[in-house]
Structure formats: C-alpha cells, structure tokens
Amino acid sequence: MLTGMKIAIIGGDLRYIEVIRRLTKLDATVYLIGYDQLDDGFLGVEKTSFATIQIGQLDAIILPVNGMKHDHEIDSVFSGEKLYLTEKWLGNTPEKTKIYTGISTDTLSLLVKKTDRELIELMNRDDLAIYNSIPTAEGTLMLAIQNTNVTIHRSNVVVTGFGRVGTTIARLFHSLGANVKVVAKEGALRARAYEMNLDPYPLEELVHVVKDADMIVNTIPALVITSEVISKMPSHAFIIDIAAYPGGTNFEFAKKRAVKALLAPGLPGLVAPKTAGVQLANLLSTLLKTQWEKEEGGKGK
C-alpha cells in the first residue's frame, strides 16, 4: 500500500487514467495538475494547479511518457491550457521528491540537474519498452493503412532503428508480407535483422535504401531522414516518424517535396490507452512501493 504517500501527476494522456486508478486503489494521495477537463471521479484525488498545490510534502512527481518539451511545456490531453514546469517550482519541492517520466529530454535532464532531484526514466527499462512496442507497432500499422494506397503485403518498408520498438514493428510488417529493410548503425542489430530474414543495411546507406520505399518508419531520435534522404524517395513514399519529439525527419523539406510525413510519438496512448496504461501503472506502482518502503523504513530508524 501507498497510504500516506503524496504524488503529483502533471499532464499525461489517456494511459494515465489507469495510473490514477491504480494509485488510488493503493491509497496514495494523488494531486492532478492539468486535468481540469477530466470528468472521472476518483476517491483520494485532488485537481489542483502549480500555483495552488501544497508541494512541501510531495514524495513523487509523475510526468507524461514523452517527458518535457524544449520550452518546458508538459503535454496534457485533459487540459485546454498549456502547462510549464519551471525550475523555481521544482526547486521548492522537498529534496526527497523523485520524478518519474517515460523518456527524458535535454531540457528535463538539465532541469533536474539544476534542482538536484532524482529522475527515473521508465522507458529505459526493457520490460516496459518491449510491452510498449506492441501498441506502438499496431498504431504504426494503422497509420500505414490509413495513409497509403497500397497493401502492406508486397510493399517496400524501411525501418530505421532496430531497438526494442523497431524490432517489433519490423516483425509485424514482415509477418504481413511486406519486404522489410532494416537500417541500423550497430552491426549486432543488423545481424539480428538478418537472422529474422529481414534485409539489413548500415545507416550510411539509408540514402540508397529508400529509393524504392513505399513506407519509411523511423524510430531513431536523431535527424536521420535528412533532405538528402528525402530527395531520393519516390513521391508516393509515406514517412511515419515515431521517435520522441521533434522526431528524426526534416519535415519542412518533406513538405516542400510533397512527400507525406507524419510525426506520431505516443501511439500507445492513442491506439491502446487501456492496455498501455495498465502496463505503465504496474511498473509505476512497483517503483513507488519500493520508494515508499525505503522512506518509511528510514523514518522508523
């Protein structure tokens, strides 16, 4: 149980309904910031704001899976107003306060460093990242079907990056009969792609690999779909960029060339929020229990 633990959830998407539900069942005191449009009633939950929350006793802060944008904005689908997490506000929380997020950005990493707070990145864990790759792959397939005029079967699909998410996406498209080419920097990942009967290529060959592509799925959080790469693509090619904001695609150049490109981070929260939310809630509740047991144990010494 988390009785007595005070947790602030700042922003988030539909997955966080399951997180709120789980934490309240564990008897935590939950404060919601950026949830003014949430109608669900939860016992032990208080809708509040940065200005009105009593932050002096906070034990944990939960941020959205995508962390924080470069201008300190925090995304929330439950609010019509923009949320900004400032250094001054975070610095006024207790030193013990731990911050949980899916992924970090340079801005968030710098913020927690300046305020000397501990940051836990959930997507660094293989278990959650692999679970999360399933709805991500399904969402990518959905976008591919909706935005192209060819079948997945026999289409030419290029997947850039072959980590936990890229592997699941490549496997799914391959299972539906697509000709899948995998572009990865690491030789070990290309070897795994070869073992899976996919066509592996090093990253420096991407500009040549895309020449006959119907779809390009980018999972690399760095600019890899450059203007040079886009200039070699067929005009009908469709780019699905699922990397964390701002993605790895030169979207401005794609627009100039009339190549359809879509930035689509956070797909699990759109296509399967309940399933993804339960998985997120399971991990968060485990980590928060461990934190709370240590804090309570320390108080008893």
How is domain 127-265 classified at the architecture level of CATH? 3-Layer(aba) Sandwich (3.40)
CATH code of the domain occupying 6-124+272-300: 3.40.50.720
The answer to whether the beta carbons of residues 241 and 266 sit under 8 Å apart is no
The answer to whether the beta carbons of residues 248 and 223 sit under 8 Å apart is yes
Q: Kindly give the interhelix angle for 126-147 and 164-175, rounded to the nearest 10 degrees.
A: 40
- Same fold across 6-124+272-300 and 127-265: yes
Is pTM beyond 0.75? Reply is yes
The answer to whether the beta carbons of residues 33 and 82 sit under 8 Å apart is no
Burial 238-269 (b: 16+ CB within 10 A, else e): bbbbbbbbebbbbbebbeeeebebbbbbbbbb
Q: How buried is 125 (Cβ within 10 angstroms: 0-12 exposed, 13-18 middle, 19+ buried)? A: middle
From first to last of its 301 residues, the chain has per-residue pLDDT tens of: 999 999 999 999 999 999 999 999 999 999 999 999 988 677 779 999 999 999 998 999 999 998 998 899 999 999 999 999 999 999 999 999 999 999 998 899 999 999 999 999 999 999 999 999 999 999 999 999 999 999 999 999 999 999 999 999 999 999 999 999 999 999 999 999 999 999 999 999 999 999 999 999 999 999 999 999 999 999 999 999 999 888 999 999 999 999 999 999 889 999 999 999 999 999 999 999 999 999 877 564 3
Q: What does the domain layout of the chain look like in residue ranges?
A: 6-124+272-300, 127-265
Q: How buried is 40 (Cβ within 10 angstroms: 0-12 exposed, 13-18 middle, 19+ buried)? A: exposed
